[in-house]
Amino acid sequence: MAGAELEPVIGLEIHVQLRTATKMFCGCALGFGEPPNTRTCPVCLGLPGALPVANAEAIHYGLMIGMALESELAPISTFHRKNYFYPDLPKGYQISQFDLPLCSGGKLGEVNIHRVHIEEDAAKLNHAGASGRIEGADSSIVDFNRGGTPLAEIVTEPELGSAEQAGEWLRLLRTTLRTLGVSDVNMEEGSLRCDANISLRPVGTDQLGTKTELKNMNSFRFIERGIRAEVDRQRAIIEAGETVTQETLHFDPKSESITSLRSKEEAHDYRYFPEPDLPPVMITGEMLARASAALPELPAARELRYIEALSLSPESARLFAWRAELADYFDAVCAADKSLDRQLAANWVTELQGRLGEEEAEDSKVTAAALAQLAAMVASSQINQGGAKQVLDQLVAAGGDPAAIVADQGLEAVGGADELAPIVAAALEANPELTERLRGGDMKPIGVIIGEVMKQTRGRADGKEVTALVREQLGLS
């Protein structure tokens, strides 16, 4: 295999905590941040004799997810027990789904979905001691507040080709789930968790190599970095003529290191069997109608609407549609000034997001109204691009009113022959050599002249207008 170019093949398994009022199989309210073990009952503590009852709202949310992912919805869906011992699993089994998941197949963006099933979350373990893991811990305590929270597990086909693509697709999924309103989709708080199955294969082949599973990465950055690190690790192994071992791995974002959690030989036999305490879930026409009626506009529809109704560029439309918070912010900017050119507004929203990184625009100091005002000032040439970017920098840093910032700091555009012509003339005069070259038809030095004018106007001039004035004053037009 050495010598052939290798490409990554990535599949994702995403666990999403559903935002139901109560837990998956009992009446306890969902919690986050409450004192430990205060949201528990005999059922979610796995006490002797307690029995599960399936949460109808979780099934409803599962159906909505299935519809959004264009999955096939099962007419009859069953729960299974997945048996293994661990202190965060009070019954010694997790109630999950096996051969009859709620949703099969489907597609989101360019990626095919394998299945979506419903299950219960485990409790949270806190390990005292240096290792932070159960092995080597001085003691471990269990908080059952999280135990029994409804989860949807979404599994993709192994079709993602890079860490970046995986990250981008995961954002689309997150947006879809957030738009559906079925989850908080907060990776830091653990309501969205992602595992990645990773293998490499020679470019041009379609056989899958030995895969490894990278567990529980809790931010978009860690996911992309983790996948990249694992792809590099596998590539080095294969290029050294060795073979990848099938195992479950842990990525430590601090050290960028990848460690083995367990090998294939140590893999559990989960002894799945149908959960006898729960009758099969019959998906009725009524349930489907209710789920269908609850569906909001989904990213694909929003993308199309932005292109067709608002005449946005396909790039802007996709950027926003795949990131609902950004699209909502864009909508707010447009609503603040209905006369604004939509693409111009889109460009400034994009410009803003570029400065914010992971922070959401709606959480920034720049209000939608302020950004609309800034874009309108650009549209009416009250301020040029450079000036507007300076204003935006200040808005990002401290917020405020764009018009006031422009007035305070004298950032109005310098334009028109009256104001700009003398500055251009002075710049030409100060650079006689360059002026001669320009006059001879060599336009290369124009940048220096524009730079000089910008310097004199503190960036408030428009480059095109400066060029036009140079040509005019040198008789080149």
Tokens 């990213």 belong to which residue? 299
276 binds other proteins (CB under 8 A): yes
The residue among 128, 113, 23, 129 whose CA lies nearest residue 73 is 113
- Output 39 or 302, the one with its CB closest to other proteins: 39
Pick out residues in 404-433 that bind other proteins (CB under 8 A).
none
21 binds other proteins (CB under 8 A): no
Show the tokens assigned to 312: 């946005």
What are the Cα distances from residue 14, in Å, to 11, 145, 174, 243, 278? 10, 21, 10, 27, 25
| DSSP code string of 117-150 | EEEE---EEEEESSSSSSTT-SEEEEETTSTT-E
Q: Which of 269, 363, 418, 429 binds other proteins (CB under 8 A)?
A: 269
134 binds other proteins (CB under 8 A): yes
Angle at 253 between CA 249 and CA 258, to 5 degrees: 30
99 binds other proteins (CB under 8 A): no
- Output 125 or 474, the one with its CB closest to other proteins: 125
| DSSP code string of 375-414 | HHHHHTTSS-HHHHHHHHHHHHHH---HHHHHHHHT---B
Which strands, in side-by-side order, build the sheet including 80-83? 93-96, 80-83, 273-274
Pick out residues in 35-94 that bind other proteins (CB under 8 A).
42, 45-54, 81, 83, 85, 87, 90-93
Q: Which of 129, 161, 279, 416 binds other proteins (CB under 8 A)?
A: 279
311 binds other proteins (CB under 8 A): no
- Output 36 or 400, the one with its CB closest to other proteins: 36
Smallest gap, in angstroms, from Cβ of residue 136 to other proteins? 10
Smallest gap, in angstroms, from Cβ of residue 282 to other proteins? 13
Confirm if 127 and 137 have CB atoms less than 8 A apart.
yes
Show the tokens assigned to 285: 């026409």
State the number of binding residues for other proteins (CB under 8 A). 29
- Residues 6 or more apart whose Cβ sits within 8 Å of residue 219: 187, 188, 253
- Output 118 or 449, the one with its CB closest to other proteins: 118
- Output 138 or 206, the one with its CB closest to other proteins: 138
- Sign for the CA dihedral angle at 201, 194, 320, 405 comes to negative
- Output 282 or 397, the one with its CB closest to other proteins: 282
- Output 87 or 410, the one with its CB closest to other proteins: 87
Binding region for other proteins (CB under 8 A) out of 163-171, 221-229, 266-274, 363-371: 266-274
Alpha-carbon distance 116 to 14, whole Å? Answer: 9
- Output 47 or 301, the one with its CB closest to other proteins: 47
Smallest gap, in angstroms, from Cβ of residue 254 to other proteins? 26
DSSP 99: S
Binding region for other proteins (CB under 8 A) out of 169-177, 212-220, 274-282, 308-316: 274-282
Binding site for other proteins (CB under 8 A): 42, 45-54, 81, 83, 85, 87, 90-93, 134, 142, 269, 271-273, 276-279
